[in-house]
Amino acid sequence: MIQEDRKFWKLLLFTIPTLGIYSIYFWFRFTQDLNEMNREEKKLKNYILVLFLSIITLGIYRWVWFFYVVDRVQVTGEELGVKINPGPSVTLIWKLFGSFILIGPFVANYVTIRNMNIIARQYNKHFKKNTKVI
């Protein structure tokens, strides 16, 4: 079963005292759940690998990875019949250009987590409905 109650405030609150370790755990689980919902589709890279590639590329790869995550959420939502708003381009604009007003990355993460919760609920509902207990 996919976790459907991720909280943005929890990510924000626990990342600071754990010096970023909770953030790594959060995005690792997020990616695993998103890959679970997309069994036949392209898989997202493991978040630990993303961290190493981000170090090598001076942080650029994390931006690319985030776009893929938001796009995967959008595609999964469409497959499950859920309208995802805003789309990947708007979310990425918040992440990139919103950095200049300091609140943009928070808005982008909040929207992504909220959309993931929506599709996770739909996926779990669909999964329960199509699973028969013997």
Confidence (pLDDT) at 131: 59
Token look-up 């626990």 returns 14
8 C-beta neighbours (distance < 10 Å), count: 17
Token look-up 């993460």 returns 109
Confidence (pLDDT) at 40: 67
The domain spans of the chain are: 8-129
Nearest-angstrom CA–CA distance, 106 and 103: 5
* Spatial CB neighbours of 47, under 8 Å, sequence gap ≥ 6: 24, 27, 28, 30, 31
Question: Mean pLDDT, 10 residues at a time, over the chain (134 residues)?
Answer: 91 93 94 85 82 93 90 88 85 84 90 93 81 57
Confidence (pLDDT) at 52: 93
The structure's pTM equals 0.85
Q: What one-character-per-residue DSSP string does 26-48 give? A: HHHHHHHHHHHH-SSSPPPPPHH
